[in-house]
Amino acid sequence: MTSVLVAGGATGIGSACVQALRSTGVDVYVADLNVDAAGQHERAELPGRFRVGRHDLADPESPARAVAATLDAFGRLDGVVVTAGVHLVGPVTEYSVDDWDHTMAVNVRAPFLFAQAAAGPLAETGGSLVFTGSTAAFRGSRGAFAYSASKGALVSLTRSLAVELGSVGVRVNCVCPGWIDTPFNAPYWAMQSDPDGALGSIVERIPAGRQGVPSEVSSLVVYLLGPSAAYVTGQSMIVDGGLLSA
C-alpha cells in the first residue's frame, strides 16, 4: 500500500487517518472543502508524502476529480477512505428537503461515486475502499433521522459494492464509530437543552465509560486497508466502546 485518497481528511477521524497512514510511509491525497485545516498535515514531518485539493463532495463531479488528482500526484491508487459527512439535525416537522438532499448527497452518493471512479485504479493494485458509517445506522436519535437514514444506506451500499467489486479484487468495508470526541458532533450537542447533562447521560451508558478518540477509529481503518485484512470485505465494524451491546 503506497497511495491512499482520504476524502474529508481535514479534521477529526479523517485527520487521524491521514496521520496514521503517513506515519507508515503511505502517500496521502486529502480531498476536502477545508483546505486550510487540511494544510496542517503539510507541516508534519512524516515519511509519507502529502497533497491536498479543494473538493466539494456535494458536487457529483468531485469524487472523479479527486481520484484523478491522486493518480496525478502519486501515479497509483491503493486505497480510498471516505470520512467526509454531513450531520444536520432538527425537528422532523421543520426539516427541509434541501437539508435532506444535501445529507444524502454527501453521505451516500459521494461514497458511491468514489467507488465508481476508483474501481478501475483499485483493481490494478488490489486496493480497497473504507467508508465511515456510524452507529446511527443501527439506532434512532432525536432530530438525526436524515443522518441515520444515510448511514443505514451506507451499510447496505458497502455490502453491495463488496459483492460487485470482489470479482476484480477490490475489497469494500465500513467503520461505524459511536461517540467519538470530535467537532463533528457539535450540531447534536447544540440541539440539547443541557449539553453537559446529555453527554454525561450518554457516557454513563457506554461500557468503556468514555467517548472514543479519533485514533481509535483510524487504527481500524488502516488495518482494513492493509494486507492483514485481505479476507475481510462487505463488513460494517462498530467502534463504540460497547454502547450498542449495553
User: Phi and psi (nearest 5°) for 236?
Assistant: -120, 105
197: pLDDT strictly greater than 90: no
Model confidence over 108-159: pLDDT tens digits?
999 999 999 999 999 999 999 999 999 999 998 788 899 999 999 999 999 9
Which of 22-45 are b and which e, b meaning 16 or more Cβ less than 10 Å from the residue's Cβ?
Answer: beeebbbbbbbbeeebbeebeeee
Judged by DSSP in three states, 131 sits in strand
Which cell numbers in the block locate residue 82?
471516505
pLDDT at 187 over 80: no
Predicted model pTM: 0.94
Given the residues 147, 188, 223, 231, select the one marked as catalytic. 147
User: Residue 43 — very low, low, confident or very high, per pLDDT cuts 50/70/90?
Assistant: confident
Backbone angles phi, psi at 59, to 5 degrees: -85, 120
The rounded mean pLDDT for the chain is: 93
pLDDT of residue 35: 86
Tell me which DSSP letter residue 234 carries. S
Domain count, the chain: 1
Q: Is the pLDDT of residue 211 over 90?
A: yes
Helix H segments across 61-208?
Answer: 62-74, 97-104, 110-125, 145-166, 186-190, 195-205
Between 86-90, 130-134, 220-224, the lowest mean confidence (pLDDT) is in 86-90
- Domain residues for the domain of 43 are 3-245
Residue 162 sits in a domain whose CATH number is 3.40.50.720
Smallest Cα–Cα separation from 206: which of 242, 176, 178?
A: 242
Per DSSP, what are the bridge partners of residue 53?
Answer: 31
Q: Which residues pair with 139 in a beta bridge?
A: none
Query: How do residues 45-73 score in pLDDT, each as one tens digit?
Result: 899 999 999 999 999 999 999 999 999 99
The answer on pLDDT for 190 being more than 90 is: no
147 is known as an active-site residue: yes
Q: Do the Cβ atoms of 152 and 224 come closer than 8 Å?
A: no
